[in-house]
Structure 1
Amino acid sequence: MGRKTGVAPQLAEALGIVLGTEEIPLRLRAWDGSEAGPPDAPVIEFRSRRGLRRMLWSPNQLGLSRAYVAGDIDAAGDLFESFAALSSVGKFAELKAFRPPTIGERIKLVRTAVRVGALGFPPKPPPEEMNVARVGRKHSKERDAAAISHHYDVGNEFYALVLGPSMVYSCAVWEDPGTGLDAAQEAKLDLVCRKLGLRPGMRVLDVGCGWGSFALHAAGNYGVDVVGVTLSKEQAELARQRVSDAGLSEHVQIRVQDYRDVHDGPFDAISSIGMAEHVGRAEIRNYASHLNSLLSPGGRLLNHAISWNAGEMPPDPDSFIPRYVFPDGEMLSLNVMIEALESAGLEVLDVEALRRHYGLTLRAWVDNLEKNWDEAVRRTSDGRARVWRLYMASSALGFERGLNGVNQVLVQRPGGSEPPLRRREWM
């Protein structure tokens, strides 16, 4: 049961204020060995006073995230159980931006910090927190390049540990939960090729090409020529090496280039897999219009993107994801995405929701990270590995709860050949 006295009961009160609830479905273990909370609940450890100090100075999601990334707090058991319990109460469950504590609640937090010896100046944010990309005009080419570098240029070896041999960093397509990550990713790549109607000799643009996996699959299996563009220099370096190793250098070109600077169309087909999340609401119509201008008449665009399914909620630039994972990233609703594509003059041929598939994919990535934890820390840092663990585990729960979705929207530029009467060619 643990002691009823000590630091833990006071931490429980403080955490309740931050979460906006009196009932915390967690067992808290403090640095003095005391415990508080339901005996059978998932255990959260406060390893130092600094964790409470972070909550005092940032009494919201950011303070909790900083404490986890810095190692001031940790989940003692199953990570998914702990996060699921945390997300089921208070402000997390309400799906709203965190309400700032009232004056009275702040006074209680300060008093708790004084009692347990945690009062002091605000701790420095963990070095993994991103601020550089937030300088300059939002979604300017320079700021977008900095944001992409923050997320993707953390080491190809690190990503290989998490993603596995496929090196695909987007939702896989699973026949069933036992399919396996690599097979599910190959199924996704092939599904995109079939939806685009790829045929030998076609010219294809892959926007946000990552480490070249789609380009390699399309060129190697469908006989097309692919131009892949990415803003990540590290991605491009490995993608070019993979293309060379596969003997496909004559058919695949990898560029470090903003999609807005691609002007050498037309292309017979365009794939955009997990890239539109970086575009932003203010730019999404320009994105759709520019890609449309690069398509041949009758050419198809496959837009594969995460969506926000929980109603209108303005982005919080001070939450965990914008500061640590995707600076300036925005999840748009499916209707906003389709409206942008249709406004650009593109005809919708097919929409497929893959929400459940992303939960399975993220759990597989978390499993890879856990199995390779020591090597992942060696390749980056303990804090960076914690960022990815927190981001992927919490995102998996978001997809499983239906807060997030992921959709493949297939559209076609008017002109050229008519689309098929039925979808049999890609079913």
Structure 2
Amino acid sequence: MPDAAQRLTTLAEQLLGAELPLRLRAWDGSEYGPPNTPTLVIRHRRALRRILFRPGELGLARAWVAGEIDVEGDLYEALGAISGLVWERDDLPGPSLRDAPTRAAVRELVRLAGPFPPPPPPREEVRRRTGALHTKIRDRRAISHHYDVGNDFYELVLGPSMVYSCAYWESPDNTLEQAQRDKLELVCRKLDLTPGRRLLDVGCGWGSMAVHAAREHGVRVVGITLSREQATYARKRIAEEGLTDRIEIRVQDYRDVRDGPYDAISSIGMAEHVGSARYLEYARDLHALLKPGGRLLNHQIARRPLADESAYSIDEFIDAYVFPDGELSPVGSTVTQLETAGFEVRDVESIREHYALTLCRWVANLEANWPQAVRLSSPGRARVWRLYMAASAMAFRRNRIGVNQVLAVRTPVSGASGLPLRARTWKG
């Protein structure tokens, strides 16, 4: 009788229609597969029950979060190999349950997995949500789930900059802190911030953009967030910088801001939470808050468009464990919505590779401080973050998702946009 590792490898290859590019170690200590590759460790056969019950990434993620599967070796290499089997299978034949060999393989996996049903999902999974998407109450709860993990935990992962969005890398040899400062400076230049102007920072996080804009460019800033932990941290930081006369931090929904007009608006890594059903409302609200000639910098992750847009569904793992109710749209849809709301889109800059670099630095920070990260959160939460950030880095690297900075203007009736004739003068 073959051992568990060899049996699993044979069954997986039969069902996937391709060779398994990873070595596999099973709960009985057996190993099988190509040498000198990362090893997928299945610590308990409960993992198989999870995967059989929820095929695809959610079953895999639940087993990962529970500590029932792990990777020894290069995590990125392992995720790249798995991507080719799970997410990038267009050129591979899919199994059919009409085929007798496929049915036999599934029955064998069920026997190997042990008695059903599967165990409950790990507790870090988001509780079942009810009601309409992207109401103010539901959005506030979703933001709290992701951002109110604890400021100390985020400091470990993000580093001193406390910027939770894609950095801007002049060189991959730069420090994360320098790359984040360069991103904030790039945003300020695109918005043409000068002393005395008024900036609204939508989704202000821990106050990094607000502090940079006020300290380096002399503007007055209103920062809004739905996370009370972020707001507390940002206010303390602003006080320590001596900038309380220039920066106000509010726990407020963007739909409730009524004190325009502003000279400029920055929205950095926030629009992913808005949702497709609300995006035009979001764009119109920001347009109404700008004075004529005012600029919006919308920094947002984008997905690739699909032939059948109605087939799109929210990523199961991300929705269950990371960003509840988060939605990604193609950059073309974002531009269309902004222009429908009245903006003139003047520049779109893709910085996809920059996010892969950023995420790898965050993963390195997490791994270097693993015991403390577990203590500040939980083993399951720390494992969620390691998988989510590493898998996201691979998605950016392999062009499955992108990130773009869209500069839009509330161009007045006269047509005078206020932008210089030479494109991208903000780069210096």
- Shorter-chain TM range is over 0.9
Q: Deviations over 1:380-411 (max 9, x none)?
A: 01111111111111111111111111100001
Residue 172 of structure 1 contacts residue 184 of structure 1 at CA under 8 Å; is this kept in 2? yes
| Deviates most, 406-415 or 417-426 | 417-426
Task: Classify 1:82/1:310 alpha carbon distance in 2 versus 1 (closer, same or farther; 3 Å).
Answer: farther
TM-score, normalised via structure 2 length: 0.93
Separation (CA, whole Å) in 2 of partners of 1:166 and 1:122 = 42
Secondary structure of the 2:320 match is: helix
Q: Deviations over 1:82-112 (max 9, x none)?
A: 11111122x421379xx89737646633433
Q: CA deviation at 1:149?
A: 0.8
Residue 36, structure 1, aligned to residue 32, structure 2: yes
Task: Classify 1:100/1:193 alpha carbon distance in 2 versus 1 (closer, same or farther; 3 Å).
Answer: farther
Partner of 1:285: 280
Partner of 2:124: 128
Separation (CA, whole Å) in 2 of partners of 1:230 and 1:11 = 47
Residue 206, structure 1, aligned to residue 201, structure 2: yes
Q: CA deviation at 1:241?
A: 0.7
Secondary structure of the 2:346 match is: strand
Partner of 2:47: 51
Residue 301 of structure 1 contacts residue 411 of structure 1 at CA under 8 Å; is this kept in 2? yes
Task: Classify 1:95/1:319 alpha carbon distance in 2 versus 1 (closer, same or farther; 3 Å).
Answer: farther
Task: Classify 1:199/1:371 alpha carbon distance in 2 versus 1 (closer, same or farther; 3 Å).
Answer: same
Separation (CA, whole Å) in 2 of partners of 1:62 and 1:309 = 21
Partner of 1:80: 76
Residue 17 of structure 2 contacts residue 95 of structure 2 at CA under 8 Å; is this kept in 1? no
Residue 56 of structure 1 contacts residue 110 of structure 1 at CA under 8 Å; is this kept in 2? no
RMSD of aligned Cα (Å)? 2.0
Q: Say which of 77, 89, 93 aligns to 1:94.
A: 89
Residue 274, structure 1, aligned to residue 289, structure 2: no
Task: Classify 1:216/1:32 alpha carbon distance in 2 versus 1 (closer, same or farther; 3 Å).
Answer: same
Give the residue type in structure 2 aligned to 1:308.
R
Partner of 1:219: 214
Give the residue type in structure 2 aligned to 1:412.
V
Partner of 1:405: 402
Task: Classify 1:318/1:248 alpha carbon distance in 2 versus 1 (closer, same or farther; 3 Å).
Answer: closer
Partner of 2:351: 354
TM-score, normalised via structure 1 length: 0.94
Residue 203 of structure 1 contacts residue 267 of structure 1 at CA under 8 Å; is this kept in 2? yes
Separation (CA, whole Å) in 2 of partners of 1:388 and 1:106 = 35
Separation (CA, whole Å) in 2 of partners of 1:347 and 1:318 = 31
Residue 421, structure 1, aligned to residue 427, structure 2: no
**Within 5 Å, which residues of 2 pair with 1:370-389?**
370-389=367-386
Q: CA deviation at 1:131?
A: 2.4
Residue 59 of structure 1 contacts residue 100 of structure 1 at CA under 8 Å; is this kept in 2? no
Separation (CA, whole Å) in 1 of partners of 2:189 and 2:95 = 49
Partner of 2:363: 366
Q: Deviations over 1:55-79 (max 9, x none)?
A: 1211221111100111000001111
Separation (CA, whole Å) in 1 of partners of 2:104 and 2:141 = 39
Separation (CA, whole Å) in 2 of partners of 1:117 and 1:130 = 26
Separation (CA, whole Å) in 2 of partners of 1:208 and 1:10 = 50
Task: Work out the number of aligned pairs and report it.
Answer: 419
Secondary structure of the 1:94 match is: coil
Secondary structure of the 2:165 match is: coil
Residue 366 of structure 1 contacts residue 392 of structure 1 at CA under 8 Å; is this kept in 2? yes
Give the residue type in structure 2 aligned to 1:131.
R
Task: Classify 1:17/1:291 alpha carbon distance in 2 versus 1 (closer, same or farther; 3 Å).
Answer: farther
Q: CA deviation at 1:113?
A: 3.2
Residue 315 of structure 1 contacts residue 330 of structure 1 at CA under 8 Å; is this kept in 2? no
Q: CA deviation at 1:311?
A: 3.3
Q: CA deviation at 1:305?
A: 0.3
Residue 95 of structure 1 contacts residue 310 of structure 1 at CA under 8 Å; is this kept in 2? no
Residue 161, structure 1, aligned to residue 161, structure 2: no
Task: Classify 1:276/1:14 alpha carbon distance in 2 versus 1 (closer, same or farther; 3 Å).
Answer: farther
Q: CA deviation at 1:417?
A: 5.7
Task: Classify 1:315/1:154 alpha carbon distance in 2 versus 1 (closer, same or farther; 3 Å).
Answer: farther
Residue 60 of structure 1 contacts residue 100 of structure 1 at CA under 8 Å; is this kept in 2? no
Secondary structure of the 1:406 match is: strand
Residue 201 of structure 2 contacts residue 267 of structure 2 at CA under 8 Å; is this kept in 1? yes
Paired-residue identity, %: 55
Q: Say which of 393, 397, 421 aligns to 1:396.
A: 393
Q: CA deviation at 1:12?
A: 2.0
Residue 337, structure 1, aligned to residue 334, structure 2: yes
Separation (CA, whole Å) in 1 of partners of 2:315 and 2:417 = 48
Separation (CA, whole Å) in 1 of partners of 2:159 and 2:150 = 14
Task: Classify 1:177/1:318 alpha carbon distance in 2 versus 1 (closer, same or farther; 3 Å).
Answer: closer
Partner of 1:63: 59
Q: CA deviation at 1:15?
A: 3.8
Separation (CA, whole Å) in 2 of partners of 1:280 and 1:302 = 18
Structure 1 gaps of 5+ residues are: none
Secondary structure of the 2:87 match is: helix
Give the residue type in structure 2 aligned to 1:173.
Y
Separation (CA, whole Å) in 2 of partners of 1:267 and 1:101 = 58
Partner of 1:182: 177
Q: CA deviation at 1:53?
A: 1.3
Give the residue type in structure 2 aligned to 1:421.
L
Structure 2 gaps of 5+ residues are: none
Separation (CA, whole Å) in 1 of partners of 2:169 and 2:327 = 26
Secondary structure of the 2:294 match is: strand
